[in-house]
């Protein structure tokens, strides 16, 4: 699916990530952890094929392919058919309704023609999955932060891509909708889609992650299956603060101490 070869990220003369090699397969759900400023969002933009739009002073080098094709060789419409991208923040310049906003995610699939009944049904299903049916006719600009984030996730659902990339999708979500987001991630992985998600809550990983990438911010990184990566030693090194595992029933939760 998505292959990263010898990828490096530098900013202001500092190496954030050095020589990252990663293969993300269908059915896998990768979570990315790291302290602020270690290059998580920069990496995600590169994985989305947007490294040419990085901020000034950020250098990204390496090769990223999707199903064997370099991202830079894929036309934008084709890329949008195969990967969905959720940035940290949403900007709404126009007063579209919630339904229109989600329906717009179907654009890559109908060749620029007007959307059809199937597109509308897919958009309606996405709204239902994110508990947004009652918001369908609302102006997108009138929503709270959490409501707007759920609309963004509904758009990902409607886009129906092989690869889903999300930068802090749990931001502004209340606890029930964080849980719904993890259910969505599990469902998508079960349908043999590949997902990469940046989160800050360590305990969300036990609900949805199959694999974890840890960025230390000094060029070093670790990647592998969730249980192997999420140890006290690895997380403490990655987050630059002591992290401890606490038994919770038959599971383990993580706390900073």
Number of Cβ within a 10 Å radius of residue 206? 16
Q: What is the mean pLDDT of residues 180-203?
A: 92
- Is 232 part of any domain? yes
Residue 90 — pLDDT band, cuts 50, 70, 90?
Answer: confident
Closest to 21 (Cα-Cα) out of 33, 8, 6: 6
Is 80 exceeded by the pLDDT of residue 140?
Answer: yes
Is 80 exceeded by the pLDDT of residue 170?
Answer: yes
- What CATH code is carried by the domain that includes residue 17? 3.40.50.300
- Is 154 part of any domain? no
Q: Answer whether 217's CB lies under 8 Å from 38's CB.
A: yes
- Is 237 part of any domain? yes
- Is 229 part of any domain? yes
Closest to 47 (Cα-Cα) out of 217, 213, 159: 213
Q: Which of 199 and 13 is assigned the larger pLDDT? A: 199
- Is 113 part of any domain? no
Tokens of 72: 């830079």
Residue 188 — pLDDT band, cuts 50, 70, 90?
Answer: very high
Q: What is the mean pLDDT of residues 32-42?
A: 92
- Is 239 part of any domain? yes
45-54, 108-117, 233-242: range with lowest mean pLDDT: 108-117
Residues 6 or more apart in contact with residue 169 via CB below 8 angstroms: 86, 149, 152, 153, 181, 197, 199
Q: What is the mean pLDDT of residues 245-254?
A: 86
- Is 6 part of any domain? yes
Spatial distance between the Cα atoms of 92 and 12, rounded to a whole number of angstroms: 31
Residue 172 — pLDDT band, cuts 50, 70, 90?
Answer: confident
- Is 124 part of any domain? no
Q: Which domain holds residue 10?
A: 2-90+161-256
Q: How many domains does the chain have?
A: 1
Q: Is the dihedral of CA 226, 229, 232, 235 positive or negative?
A: negative
């Amino acid at each position: 699916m998505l292959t990263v070869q010898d990828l490096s990220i530098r900013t202001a003369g500092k190496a954030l990530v050095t020589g990252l090699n990663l293969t993300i397969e269908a059915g896998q759900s990768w979570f990315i952890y790291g302290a602020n400023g270690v290059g998580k969002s920069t990496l995600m933009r590169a994985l989305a094929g947007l490294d040419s739009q990085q901020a000034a002073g950020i250098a990204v080098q390496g090769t990223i392919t999707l199903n064997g094709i370099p991202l830079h060789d894929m036309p934008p419409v084709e890329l949008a058919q195969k990967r969905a991208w959720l940035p940290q923040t949403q900007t709404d310049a126009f007063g579209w309704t919630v339904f229109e906003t989600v329906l717009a995610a179907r654009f890559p699939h109908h060749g620029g023609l007007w959307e059809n009944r199937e597109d509308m049904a897919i958009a309606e299903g996405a709204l239902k999955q994110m508990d947004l049916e009652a918001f369908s006719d609302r102006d997108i600009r009138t929503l709270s932060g959490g409501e707007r984030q759920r609309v963004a996730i509904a758009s990902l659902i409607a886009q129906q891509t092989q690869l889903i990339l999300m930068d802090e999708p749990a931001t502004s979500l209340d606890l029930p909708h964080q849980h719904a987001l993890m259910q969505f991630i599990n469902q998508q992985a079960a349908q043999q889609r590949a997902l990469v998600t940046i989160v800050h809550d360590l305990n969300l990983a036990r609900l949805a992650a199959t694999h974890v990438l840890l960025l230390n911010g000094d060029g070093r990184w670790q990647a592998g299956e969730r249980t192997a990566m999420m140890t006290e030693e690895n997380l403490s090194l990655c987050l630059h603060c002591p992290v401890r595992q606490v038994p919770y029933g038959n599971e383990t939760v993580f706390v900073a101490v």
